[in-house]
Amino acid sequence: MFRCGIAYPRCRWIMPLLLFFALIFDLIAIAAQSGWVEDEDAETHYASMWDECQGRNDNWECRSLMKYPWAQAVAALMIIGFILLVVAFIVSIYAMVNVSPSAMSATSGLLLAVAVIQIIALIIYPIKFNEHIFEGQYYYTWAYGFGWGATILCLGCSLLFCCLPHYEDELNGAIKVNYLYTSS
């Protein structure tokens, strides 16, 4: 028998799982030492959120980006976003265990704040980095992409957590699932 529909009691754990992936992506973006930016040759210059390195082969000269206010702001915003994401993850687990509409709304608000904070940080970094460095062509690497991935997951989950309180009875299993198609 083929059935189309959403089994809310089984699918409700997907939301905290998505937030767990966002946590991992954010942690990768913050902790990556291989760089957020590299030159087109990927051999002479790269920069992470924390420092920039120039050189060749094993002769690298690294300088901290933390002496620049814009880099400090990016680091602070990313770390604040990560902390809020951890709190949102914990609240989402509580919301899904107890099916609490107020906790779902709180999670939605926290995730929206995380998305806004990290969007600001991920926009400041390339603008200021390009003002700081005027040498050739640069590419943004996988670590920077993981930062955007976490931000997009937070934004999407924020919208979904905003809608979930309308389906409280379905999440509790109090209402029978209405399938779109059933065959006899």
DSSP codes of every residue in 78-109: HHHHHHHHHHHHHHHHHHHHHT-HHHHHHHHH
Do 72 and 66 touch, CB atoms closer than 8 A? yes
In tens, the pLDDT along 18-29 reads 999 999 999 999
Taking phi over 0 as left and psi of -120 to 50 as alpha, with beta for the rest, 42 belongs to left
Range 176-180, long-range pairs (CB < 8 A, 24+ positions): 177/5, 177/6, 177/7, 177/8, 178/5, 179/3, 179/4, 179/5, 180/4, 180/5
Domain definitions of the chain by residue range: 8-41+65-172
In tens, the pLDDT along 108-117 reads 999 999 999 9
Cβ-based neighbours of 140, under 8 Å, separated by 6 or more? 36, 37, 126
Amino acid (one-letter) located at 136: G
| CATH fold of the domain at 8-41+65-172 | Butyryl-CoA Dehydrogenase, subunit A; domain 3 (1.20.140)
Q: Which residue has the higher pLDDT, 24 or 138?
A: 24
| pTM, two decimal places | 0.81
* Angle separating helix axes 14-31 and 69-98, nearest 10 degrees: 160
Q: How much is the pLDDT for 22?
A: 94
pLDDT higher than 80, residue 150: yes
